[in-house]
Amino acid sequence: MQQLWLIPTFPLLGFLINGIFGRRLPKQAVNAVAIGSVLLSFVWVLKTLSGLWPIDQPHIERYFTWFESGELSIGFDLAVDRLTAVMLMVVTGVGSLIHVYSIGYMSHEGGYYRFFAYLNLFMFFMLILVLGANFLLLFVGWEGVGLCSFLLIGFYFVKKSATDAGNKAFIVNRIGDFGFSLAMFLVFVTFGSLDFDKVLPQVAGYADTGTITLICLLLMVGAAGKSAQIPLYVWLPDAMEGPTPVSALIHAATMVTAGVYMVARAAPLYQASPAAMEVVAVVGLLTAVMAATIGITQYDIKKVFAYSTVSQLGYMFVAVGVGAYSAGIWHLMTHAFFKAVLFLGAGSVIHALSGEQDMRQMGGLRKKIPITFYSILFASLAIAGFPFTAGYFSKDEILLAAHHHAPWMYWVATITAGMTAFYVFRALFMTFFGKYRGKEHPHESPLVMTAPVGILALLSLFGGFLNVPQWLSPMFPLDGGAHDLTLVAISVAFGLAGIGLAYYMYVLRPELPGQIATSLGGLYTLVYNKYFVDEMYDAAVVKPLISGSRQVLWKGADVGLIDGIVNGVGTVARSVGGVLKLLQSGNIRSYATWVVMGSIIVLVAMGVAGGGK
Amino acid sequence: MSFLGWITLAPLFGFFLILFLPRNNPALIRQVTLLLSLVIFAGSLGLLSGTQPDTNVPWIPDFNINFHLSIDGLSIWLVLLSTLLTPIAVLISWKYIDHRVKEYHALLFLLEFGVIGVFVAMDLFLFYVFWEVSLVPMYLLVGIWGHERRIYAAVKFFLYTMAASVLMLVAIVYVYLQAGTFSYPEILRMIGSSQLVFSPTAQFWLFLAFFVAFAVKVPLFPLHTWLPDAHVEAPTAGSVMLASVMLKLGTYGIVRFCLPMFPGAARECADWIVALAIIGIIYGALVALVQPNMKKLVAYSSVSHLGFVVLGIFSFTQYGMDGAVYQMLNHGISTGALFILVGCLYERRHSLEIKDYGGVGTVAPWLSIVFVVTTLASVGLPTLNNFVGEFMVLVGAAKVSLTWAALASLGVILSVCYMLWLYQRTFTGETPEEVRKHVYDLTPREWAALLPLVILMVWMGISAQTFLPRITASTSPILKQTTVNVPFQVQDATPASQEVADAR
């Protein structure tokens, strides 16, 4: 026993302490509890992993039966294998750093203890998600992180836009979870269990591909909700209403990657259904392209990175969809590094400018906040796939696997990589180059914020040397395809071209973007407004649902039809019934007394009759 | 008379005791009621120890009617739910009820007596008597201490349930004439040994007579329209008892009586009933979505939640059935808490209209937190109680038909929509002046009422095995009974592998 349960329990305790007593605790105590619990968890992860080294076999610990009925038996069981080990390191490692950063970022905010309580609760659920040894426990974490996401997006709960975004996130995720739940039901009905170690080994011998495909597609619905893929990505950009550390931790580094983790976890199922894998890959690719185009046009720095996240998650789904699970997880890890830097750096910029998020009000900040600048620069190089940065390794692994699967996917993904480099550097140049266009006086963030960002920036540069596919090869065999240098060179060239174009358009010829936007006209408007998807959903689903429920179901069917019949019957009965006349006289009190007396007489009579014989 | 008998009669004793207390001392009445109801609750916990012997004494020997009470895993938790909620009902009425205090508290005891009796009666006639006894106090609670349209709501409630239960009385008499006894275990034995066989037609009509009586109480779509009115007009405690306990009389009755006595008809009608249940789940949720009145919203959500219970029962699977029974308890806990919270808001702001609120979280953070937890329980967040029940019900439904499960799961999505929207409009945003002036945080008395329920939400969500084994022990024989004299083959459930259980 490695006492795996302690890993999620530390943050849970942190949540309980800060949640219940936090209001009365001084800030230092809240910090100590919040960060201490996550660090303890991180340390316990290290201890566990070294204790289990080299983790060739999954290590399962069974604690207690959660619920059991008939042949349905769900255990509270945790497990660690190599995949979970990667996730544990990312979640607790990046999580710890972001917790530290939050001390600085949130120092002037109200509800300080509440923020950290939610953050710890998130860690708890995220760790349950990656440790769970059955689908249902994974689902517990899955729903739990969704809850924390909801709470943290709506953290500034006086702002309607924030609570709207929180609700949207929860509801859209619930739509995804609808798919996930159905998949679980089907898994249970088909395989008689929800435990990974019982279900997954059975898959290979199971003949009915139709059922497997259905399970995989339903799981993908869940993954699309959580990991913001088409058609359920709409909540993630709005989720930027939350405080920036939340965007970094939950909506970039960890939670949103849960869908990728889940698909990798269910890999044996997907392997048995090529059709489902194709769907995953195509959805991922479409999402990557679509989000990248939107990212090009946005001016809110966090929105740019949000669409970038959607796009990068698309990459990960391409990876797992073409069977390169380890490449997907590798990109998940490197993305956690560089996207965390981008968000935390953006947070640092916003912090420096006292809340300004519009890049048109920034510019020239390179000299004023240099540490932030260099951190964002490193992360931008990584996401652009600049050679030997973290993103370069993982992205190329994906691109090569895509090429191996279908060359057209490689080309689409490579063009998207070029766009990615363009929009990230567009953001970088608009923020840090040229003349300062804002009014606030920018100031560099304190060490408590810059240090975590710095560490993550270094990981963005060098994290690619952590060879995840090698580590995961016992679970996901390397397919041994040759490292085609031409393909790598092409994708690097696209990345560099993107950077170059951004430099040309936003540093050398800053008047150009406006002209291009004008000349594109309708197309630009379409992309700038995110293809009007939100508006379409609103018109096609939300509005009809609400007005239909109100006019047709409630006022029509319920009050009009059903109650109309009932009251009609009632009126007839009333005119006939003598007893009811008493009620019509309005003398309810005398009637009530009468009924009470009547009941008593009946009861007494019952007692007498019962006792008498 | 066994221990069970004394526990059942204790609230009746309370009823008489209150009647003898002086009218002009409401404080004394409240204190006595609270104390005694707590004592009854503590005593009822004793029912958990060992096997409880039946109480079986002759009552009206001329008709062979016995005062026969029995408790098993199906009824024990429902009885405990009733005895737990009665003191809570007293607590939340402390300030709310300021006139006719004596009658009010006497009626609470009478209500407790009636519902416990329904859950433990093993004689069909006795069952019917308890069924009606529980109806009267609720009618009066709504009719006397309700809001403006209380008379309309009370009469509607009364007519609905009365009309339906008369049918049941007819059916009971018919069964008596066929079987020659009101004793339920005896009737079941006769059915099991084919001494008593109803023709398919007779079975169908008998089933229908019982089922409609129960379905009105549940309430099953489209027999539900009394519920929103009754809830809106009822005082807080009335709503709590109505939602948490009285609705369960219906679902309990279906499981206890409809399935074992008329298995053929039950299975034959299952598709139709499931269809109504699923319509109720979706319909209730959609109508809840657009309610401007908080209590109505919660009332319609009950229609949706109880649809799950019916769905689980008529999946005829072990987990579906257990999930349904568990869901009865869960709904009692979480919806009870919701009505209490809405009642807390009403006591402060004197409005049930959602639009009169906003930003309550700023002025009453703990009230807001408890509301969030209750909301999350109600929408089925894992680790809280409703999730376990809903999950088992849906697995049961999926075992029969994935389409059923898919349609019912839509209700799970919609529940998030209406509850979060309610939360957002009530607790978040800017705080209007009226709210700022009147709304204060939870008082110790309100905490005392809510905390046990919140603890139960977590407990039942995580440690479901505290409750489920007893439920399974009672539902599996019932499930087996539905295979008697039925042209259906039902496979036996294989228990989970032993080594896994040992490993834990």
A489 touches chain B (CB under 8 A): no
Q: For residue A63, give both structure tokens.
A: 């604690």
Of A75, A166, A570, the CB nearest to B159: A570
Helix, strand or coil for residue A4?
A: coil
CA-based nearest residue to A251, from A228, A232, A281 = A228
CB nearest B428 (choices: A70, A154, A599): A154
**CA-based nearest residue in chain B for residue A174:** B413
The CA distance from B281 to B310, in Å, is 10
Q: How many Cβ atoms from other residues are within 10 Å of residue A483's Cβ?
A: 9
Q: Which of residues 6-65 of A touch B (CB under 8 A)?
A: 62-65
Query: Mind spelling out the 3-state secondary structure of A435-492?
Result: CCCCCCCCCCCCHHHHHHHHHHHHHHHHHHHCCHHHHHCCCCCCCCCCCCHHHHHHHH
Nearest CB to A158: which of B156, B323, B359?
A: B359
C-beta of residue B310 within 8 angstroms of C-beta of residue B273: yes
Question: Checking phi first, is residue B194 left (phi over 0); if not, alpha (psi -120 to 50) or beta?
Answer: left
Q: Measured between CB atoms, does B59 come within 8 Å of chain A?
A: yes
Chain B neighbours among A 493-512 (CB < 8 Å)? none
Q: Residue ranges per domain, chain B?
A: 268-504
Given CB atoms, is B17 within the 8 Å cutoff of chain A?
A: no
CA distance, residue B179 to nearest chain A CA (Å): 22
**Quick one: how far is CA A470 from the chain centroid?**
27
pLDDT band at A594 (very low <50, low <70, confident <90, very high): low
Percent residues over pLDDT 90 in chain B: 59
Instruction: Kindly list the residues from chain B whose CB atom is less than 8 angstroms away from the CB atom of residue A585.
Output: none
ipTM: 0.89
In this prediction, residues A5-12 reach a mean pLDDT of: 94
Identify the pLDDT of residue A610. Answer: 47
Distance CA B57, CA B166 (A): 26
In chain B, which residues have their Cβ closer than 8 Å to the Cβ of A157?
A: 361, 427-429
Neighbours of A132 (CB within 10 A): 24
Is the pLDDT at A590 greater than 80, yes or no?
no
Q: What are the CA-CA distances from residue A66 to residues A80, A394, B374, B388, B455 (Å)? A: 19, 39, 21, 9, 17
Residue of A nearest to B57 (CA): A610
pLDDT value of residue A585: 46
CB-based contact, B58 to chain A, within 8 Å: yes
Residue A190's Cβ-count burial label (10 Å; 0-12, 13-18, 19+) is middle
pLDDT at position A342? 93
CB within 8 Å: A68 and B465: yes
Q: Do B290 and A550 touch (CB under 8 A)?
A: yes
The residue of B9, B224, B286, B371 whose CB has the most chain A CBs within 10 angstroms, and thus the best one to mutate to test that interface, is: B286
pLDDT tens digit string along A490-539?
A: 999 999 999 999 999 888 888 888 888 888 888 888 888 888 888 888 88
CA quadruple B376, B377, B382, B384: dihedral positive or negative?
A: positive
Q: Please name every residue paired with A75 in a beta bridge, in sequence order, or none if there are none.
A: A65
* pTM of the predicted protein model: 0.90
DSSP code of residue A73:
E
**Amino acid, single-letter form, for residue A372:** T
Q: Which residues of B touch A62 (CB under 8 A)?
A: 500, 503-504
Lowest mean pLDDT among A28-32, A379-383, B95-99: B95-99
Q: Which residues in chain B are contacts of A65 at CB distance < 8 A?
A: 465, 501, 504
- Which range (A315-329, A571-585, B466-480) has the least confidence? A571-585
Residue A132: strand, helix, or coil? strand
Asked if A297 and A337 touch (Cβ cutoff 8 Å), the reply is no
CB spacing of B465 vs A66 below 8 angstroms: yes
- Does position A83 have pLDDT exceeding 50, yes or no? yes
Q: Which two tokens stand for residue A117?
A: 């309580």
- The answer to whether B465 faces chain A, any CB pair under 8 Å, is yes
A residues 177-236 near B, CB within 8 Å? 177-178, 181-182, 185-186, 188-189
Q: Compute the average pLDDT of residues B251-264.
A: 92
Using the beta-carbon criterion (under 8 Å), do A72 and B392 form an inter-chain contact?
A: yes
The candidate with the shortest Cα–Cα distance to A165, out of A54, A67, A250, A277, is: A250
Q: How high is the pLDDT of residue A280? A: 95
| Tokens found for residue A227 | 């990991």
> What's the mean pLDDT in B220-241?
89
Q: B285-307 burial string, b = 16+ CB within 10 Å, else e?
A: bbbbbbbebbbbbbbbbbbbbbb
Q: Tell me: the pLDDT tens digits for A262-277?
A: 999 999 999 999 999 9
The predicted structure's pLDDT at residue A469: 87
Query: Could you read off the pLDDT of B400-452 as tens digits, one per residue?
Result: 999 999 999 999 889 999 999 999 999 998 888 888 888 899 999 999 999 99
Band of the pLDDT at B491, cuts 50, 70, 90?
very low
- Helix or strand or coil: residue A25? coil
* Interior/surface letters B181-198, b for 16+ CB within 10 angstroms, e for the rest: bbbbebbbebbeeeebeb
pLDDT at A582: 47
- DSSP-derived pairing of the beta strands B55-60 and B65-69: antiparallel
Residue A465, classified by CB atoms within 10 Å of its CB into exposed (0-12), middle (13-18) or buried (19+), is exposed
Q: Which residues of A touch B466 (CB under 8 A)?
A: none
Q: How many interchain CB pairs under 8 A, A with B?
A: 197
Q: Rounded mean pLDDT of chain B?
A: 89
Given a cut of 50, whether residue A584 has pLDDT beyond it is: no
Does A221 have pLDDT greater than 70?
yes
Whether cis (ω within 30° of 0) applies to the bond prior to B222 is: yes
> Which chain B positions have a beta carbon within 8 Å of A563's beta carbon?
225
The H or E element spanning position A74 is strand A72-80
Contact yes or no for B381 and A143 at CB 8 A: yes
At residue B493, the pLDDT reads 45
Q: What's the pLDDT band for A597 if we cut at 50, 70, 90?
A: low
Interface check for A606 against chain B (CB to CB < 8 A): the answer is: yes
Q: Does the structure show a pLDDT above 70 at A612?
A: no
- β-partners of residue A29 are none
Q: pLDDT category, B458, cuts 50, 70, 90?
A: very high
Dig out the tokens for A348 from the structure.
């640092």
CB contact under 8 A, A71 and B155: no
SS3 B69: strand
Average pLDDT for residues A167-173, to the nearest whole number? 91
Q: Do A171 and B413 touch (CB under 8 A)?
A: yes
Span A119-164, pLDDT tens digits? 999 999 999 999 999 999 999 999 999 999 999 998 988 888 998 9
pLDDT of residue A586: 47
Average pLDDT over residues A402-414: 92
Nearest CA distance, B335 vs chain A (angstrom): 20
Q: Which amino acid is at B314?
A: F
CB-nearest to A147 from B376, B417, B462 is: B376
- pLDDT band for position A337 (cuts 50, 70, 90): very high
For chain B, the farthest-separated pair of C-alpha atoms sits apart, in whole angstroms, at 71
Q: Contact A606/B129, CB-based, under 8 Å?
A: yes
What average pLDDT does this structure show over B456-485?
89
Burial class (CB in 10 A: 0-12, 13-18, 19+), B355: exposed
pLDDT at B502 exceeding the cut of 90: no
Q: Does B222 touch chain A (CB under 8 A)?
A: yes
* Sequence-distant (≥ 6) Cβ neighbours of residue B211 within 8 angstroms: B254, B258, B269, B273
Number of residues written out for chain B: 504
- What is the reported pLDDT for B435? 87
- Could you tell me if A241 lies within 8 Å of chain B, comparing CB atoms? no
Contact A65 B136 (CB under 8 A): no
Model confidence at A602, pLDDT cuts 50, 70, 90, reads low
Of B143, B156, B416, the CB nearest to A588: B143
Contact A219, A199 (CB under 8 A): no
Residue window 330-359, chain B: list those with CB within 8 Å of chain A: 359
What pLDDT score was predicted for residue B91? 93
- pLDDT of residue A598 exceeding 90, the answer is no
Give the tens place of pLDDT for each residue, B25-79. Answer: 888 989 999 999 999 999 999 988 877 888 888 888 888 888 999 999 899 999 9
**What are the CA-CA distances from residue B314 to residues A72, A75, B180, B216, B400 (Å)?**
18, 26, 29, 17, 10
Q: Is A447 on the interface with B (CB under 8 A)?
A: no
Print burial letters for B356-369: b (CB count within 10 Å at least 16), e (below 16). Answer: bbbbbbbbbbebbb
Residue A179 pLDDT level (bands cut at 50, 70, 90): very high
Residue A613 predicted with pLDDT over 50: no
Q: Which two tokens stand for residue A197?
A: 């170690």
Chain B residues with CB under 8 Å of A73 CB are 496, 500-501
Closest-CA residue of A relative to B396 is A185
Mean pLDDT, residues B259-286 taken together: 91
Residue B84 distance to chain A (closest CA, Å): 24
B 243-282 near A (Cβ less than 8 A): none
Q: Does the CB of B413 have a partner CB in chain A at under 8 Å?
A: yes
Q: How many CB atoms lie within 10 A of CB A201?
A: 11
